[in-house]
């Protein structure tokens, strides 16, 4: 029997009906667009990149386009907000892709993910030499495609757990199955 772990995910309360009717929930583009509104274009870019890379670690079902974010420890669990529920899930450990929260924060903000502090200082110096004030500007600028390429390439470090930028970890799964739900926190 495979090892199982307890994880938590905060979702819109409509997930309960989806789980009841369909037996599973997967993240859909419209959910991301509704939640992220004006920023959804960049989130969808990053989520598409993440999905492509993460599916090499844990293969995804054919109909899945985006990950479902989960907390892997109760002390780092997202708290309930109006209109949401928290699902406590029991899943096979090898279905969860665990990442460093600070590295993910850099990816989602379109920043360079450094190897270490020295690498970060060198990259910041490079940006200053180009007259660029922050990493997001380098990513979004059409004038420096080589810098954008370097930033995207650095994102692969998200999956390298041999070094961390923080002690906080999070995870993703590709779907939520009804039978995984141990408890609903309202």
Give the model confidence (pLDDT) of 22-36 as tens digits: 999 999 877 677 766
- What pLDDT score was predicted for residue 37? 62
Average model confidence (pLDDT) for the chain? 93
Mean local confidence (pLDDT), 38-52: 85
Mean local confidence (pLDDT), 83-107: 97
- What pLDDT score was predicted for residue 38? 67
Q: What are phi and psi of 81, to 5 degrees?
A: -125, 165
Q: 3-state DSSP call for residue 158?
A: helix
Distances (CA, A) of 119 to 13, 51, 124, 125: 43, 26, 9, 10
Q: What is the C-alpha to C-alpha distance for residues 174 and 30, in angstroms, rounded to an integer?
A: 16
pTM: 0.91
Q: Does domain 4-111+165-185 have CATH number 3.20.170?
A: yes
């Amino acid at each position: 029997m495979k090892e199982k772990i307890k994880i938590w995910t905060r979702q819109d309360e409509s997930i309960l009906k989806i789980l009841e009717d369909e037996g599973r929930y997967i993240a859909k583009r419209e959910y991301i667009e509704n939640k992220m509104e004006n920023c959804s274009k960049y989130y969808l870019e990053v989520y598409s990149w993440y999905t492509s890379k993460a599916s090499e670690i844990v293969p995804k079902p054919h109909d899945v386009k985006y990950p479902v974010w989960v907390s892997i420890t109760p002390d780092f669990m997202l708290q309930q907000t109006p209109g949401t529920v928290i699902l406590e899930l029991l899943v096979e450990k090898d279905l969860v892709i665990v990442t460093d929260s600070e590295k993910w924060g850099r990816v989602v903000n379109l920043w360079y993910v450094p190897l270490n502090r020295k690498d970060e200082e060198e990259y910041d110096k490079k940006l200053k030499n180009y007259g660029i004030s922050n990493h997001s500007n380098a990513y979004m600028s059409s004038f420096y495609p080589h810098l954008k390429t370097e930033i995207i390439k650095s994102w692969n470090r998200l999956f390298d757990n041999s070094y961390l930028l923080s002690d906080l970890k999070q995870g993703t799964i590709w779907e939520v199955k009804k039978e995984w739900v141990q408890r609903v926190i309202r």
